[in-house]
Structure 1
Amino acid sequence: MTPWKSAPPRWKRALGPLIALLLAIAFSVTPAAAVAAPAAAAGSGWNDYSCKPSAAHPRPVILVHGTLGNSIDNWLVLAPYLVRRGYCVFSLDYGQLPGVPVFHGLGPVAKSAEQLDVYVDKVLAATGAAEADLVGHSQGGMMPRHYLKFLGGARKVNALIGIAPSNHGTTLSGFTGLLPYFPGAEDLISSHTPALTDQVVGSPFMTRLNAGGDTVPGVRYTVIATRYDQVVTPYRSQFLAGPGVRNVTVQDLCPLDLSAHVTVGTTDRIAYHEVANALDPANAKPTTCASVID
């Protein structure tokens, strides 16, 4: 019998909203196209290890999915968007748990950063580039900071662009505040989804990650957030402080943008226009509501 099935009814009632939210996110980022994932990537021109960066775009772009995402479904829009602009684009799967297909980013965040370390080396070796640029959504915008800070990644990365990143943890709109009132509930979640526990405000992982400052020298940071984020809350907790940081709220660029946490990372072309600007700041163009057709 699984711990969830044996949990007292009061835990299930209290954690029900949290689980429902997580499932909603999962189904939002995992369309039926998952079964054709390899073909989707190959047909759209990313994860092509024969791609060589151009003089205009000399660094490969590595896309880092979020919690419950994967290397394809999170990027069905952004990856082709960047390929059309002449970038060599790659994406990895990380944080896999045994027996859990499709939904990744669930394992301990520090271990996921080790997977990113290996993958960056693989992409750099294939492309011949000295550095890469990283673009991540949700956990994928935060987890690389562990790689940069503790695994020597700053030597191999020019820029980190986080879309709705969980940089300082999240209250999950207050749901995590319920956990102390239900003894054992936090252990129940942690035993199945360590990444969620790592991303709670004030967790040991978050405390270590942010001790001594948000950034490391030599890396440019961009954070792209939405006021309507219902997962990484409060949304301003996503922002970073330090040299080389640019924090952006999409509604300041286009007041009509109603994207929430999932959509800002998976379909929002206002956010994607800012990603393109952050990848190539020397040729950046103002982002407006009209950027949806750019």
Structure 2
Amino acid sequence: MRKLLLTAITTVLLAGLATPAKADVLPVPSAALALANAAAHPDTSPAGSNDWSCRPTAAHPRPVVLVHGTVENMTFNWFTLSPLLKSKGYCVFAFNYGQLPGRYAGLPGSRLAGGVAPVPTSAGQLEAFVDRVLEATNSSRVDLVGHSQGGMMPRYYLKFLGGAAKVGHLVALSPSNHGTTVDGLAHLPGVPELLSTGLGPSVRDQIKGSELLRKLNAGGDTVPGVRYTVIQTRYDEVVTPYTSAFLTGPKVTNILLQDRCPLDASDHLSISFTSPASQYVVNALDPAHAKPVRCDLALPAVG
């Protein structure tokens, strides 16, 4: 009964708030429905993704692989961006990674939280998924779009698992590239261990100064042949300080939302659902046809 009710509510909200779709183009739903959708349809591919018969076009020759964040999954994280990119003509793919069965509760309605395993383990799963996408689409490279750990973990794949030869562009929303101080709490004795025990080994990997991050960032933030775009918000309360998300190196573009939209209140969770951040993603993937970013209302947590 509960599942049927949630499904009905989600269907009604989608009908009322979704952007009308043209023929063969999926609607782009409101970000505020992401949690309701994840509860009603747990562990399912987000709309627009994982059509394994999709073939890239000349306009968009590289498939896009979406990489969710820590204690998230593809159903929730890509509720907005997946159908948006599909409506733009991309072949879009998403997957769950870093799940540890039996240990962690996921988002409402989901069976398992993702992104909790050690970062190298998750990077190996990304490698396998990218290979599957390349084979299915007969492509030589993909573009990656990731949120939080999903923007940092792919750099391990690029640097240590041969991913640089298979990726054209990494677009990252609030990535944990240089780790987080957890609002200063990470400096307290025992806090990293406590967080790792409670949320998973990937949290320890993302603490500022971790062994994983020292290895990842040694010798420079980037690898040759790959473009990088980081999209960050000043109000990130998870990756702290927010500037630790930014990269240095060749072919890097760092974007702070508030430079263009000073009243944008996006935080770490909501950034993957808001209109300004989404437009920056679209522009990064197709800079030749970039459009001005409109500063719509963006609220913490819900987008």
- Structure 1 residue 277, shift from structure 2 partner: 0.7
Whose helix proportion is higher, 1 or 2?
1
What is the match of residue 10 of structure 1? Answer: none
Q: Unpaired segments of 5 or more residues in structure 1? A: 1-27
- Say which is worse superposed, 222-231 or 91-100, in terms of deviation: 91-100
* 1:33 lines up with 2:37 in the alignment: yes
Q: 1:241 to 1:40 in 2, by over 3 A?
A: closer
Alignment of 1:142 onto 2:152: yes
Aligned partners of 1:59, 1:156: CA distance in 2, in Å? Answer: 10
Match of residue 64, structure 1, among 58, 62, 67: 67
- Relative to 1, partners in 2 of residues 1:248 and 1:107: Cα closer, same or farther, differing over 3 Å? same
Q: Note the 1:1-294 alignment, pairs <5 A.
A: 31-34=35-38, 35-37=40-42, 41=46, 44-99=47-102, 100=104, 101-178=111-188, 180=189, 182=190, 186-191=192-197, 193-265=200-272, 267-289=273-295
- Structure 2 segments unaligned to the other structure (5+ residues): 1-31, 105-110, 299-303
Aligned residues: 258
SS at match of 1:176: helix
Equivalent-residue separation in structure 1 for 2:227 and 2:61 (angstroms):
16
- What is the CA deviation profile of residues 201-224 of structure 1, one whole-angstrom value per residue up to 9, with x for unaligned ones? 000001000000000000000000
Calculate the TM-score normalised by the size of structure 1: 0.83
How far apart are the structure 2 equivalents of 1:30 and 1:81?
14
Q: How far does residue 262 in structure 1 lie from its aligned partner after superposition? A: 0.3
Asked if the contact 1:141–1:163 (Cα under 8 Å) also holds between the matched residues in 2, the reply is yes
Tell me how large the CA RMSD over aligned residues is.
1.9
SS of alignment partner, residue 74 of structure 2: coil
- Contact 2:43–2:74 (CA<8 Å) still a contact in 1? no
**In 2: Cα distance, 1:29 partner to 1:91 partner:** 19
Q: 2:45·2:74 contact (CA, 8 Å) conserved in 1?
A: no
1:191 to partner: Cα distance: 4.2
Identity of aligned residues (%): 55
- Take 2:43 and 2:203, find their aligned partners in 1: how far apart are those partners? 27
Mapped to 2, the partners of 1:97 and 1:135 lie a distance apart of 23
In 1, Cα distance between equivalents of 2:33 and 2:297: 23
For the 8 Å contact 1:53–1:87, the answer to whether it is kept is yes
Instruction: Give the conservation status (yes or no) of the 8 Å contact 2:158–2:164.
Output: yes
User: How far apart, CA to CA, are the structure 2 residues paired with 1:111 and 1:30?
Assistant: 27
Q: Deviations over 1:89-139 (max 9, x none)?
A: 111111101213331100000110000000000011111111000000000
Shift of 1:29: 10
Where 2:269 maps in the other structure, the secondary structure is helix
Conserved? CA contact 1:117–1:147, under 8 Å:
yes
TM-score normalised by length of structure 2: 0.81
AA aligned to 2:208 is V
